[in-house]
Chains A and B, each alone.
Chain A
């Protein structure tokens, strides 16, 4: 398996432009996560999906951010309009979202290589 695939790997854009980040999870994984990493705030969960349905989007900074998962093999994170403070590395991760007998999430997440976004 190719692992989690993200594109683009690097994106440089100007303030006000729309940015779309893409993620292809590992085949067979039914949970998908979008994270943002900055020096100041570390890794933050933005949103995650189970079976293509958004479960928790409380980490999405504001209305400029939106995420979709139209099918089990593709997700997008869109920023419109982008601002310099959005500059960060955006990671996508996927997991086989299975709860064991004790209702514990037993399976680890696999991270994509990240998209480094710079908004000028």
Chain B
């Protein structure tokens, strides 16, 4: 079993839908990182969080340390949100472990 599990693996949505991507982990962490990778390959940091909730535009990330679970939400999804979303946990020594990613396709 991987230390970091993401679900779903693939997600197809219609434009405007509310989207949730989940990340569960099994180890103690210092922080959790949500990343976005577009088809061109570049990786962009979305959120880094160690407790509670963060919001940036249409994106919201939450984390529950006790349950070892984080969610990434996208409100009013748009085709430009189509990308791979990757969850990474950062251990106490600063090392990152990645989930396998969730491929999101938003259709117009």
Contact = CB atoms under 8 A, between A and B. Distances in A.
Interface of A: 31, 33, 42-45, 48, 50, 55-56, 89, 91, 93, 97, 99, 102-111, 113-114, 116
Interface residues of B, number: 24
B44 interface: yes
B28 to A, nearest CB: 11
Contacts of B30: 99, 103-105
> Main secondary structure on chain B at its contact with chain A?
strand
Contact of B50 (A44, A50, A91, A104): A104
Contact of B45 (A43, A48, A91, A108): A108
Contacts of A44: 98
Interface of B: 30-31, 33, 35, 41-45, 48, 50, 86, 88, 90, 92-101
B45 A110 contact: yes
A8 B41 CA distance: 15
B64 to A, nearest CB: 16
Contacts of B42: 111, 113-114
A91 B43 contact: yes
A109 to B, nearest CB: 6
B4 to A, nearest CB: 10
Nearest to A93: B43
B93 A55 contact: yes
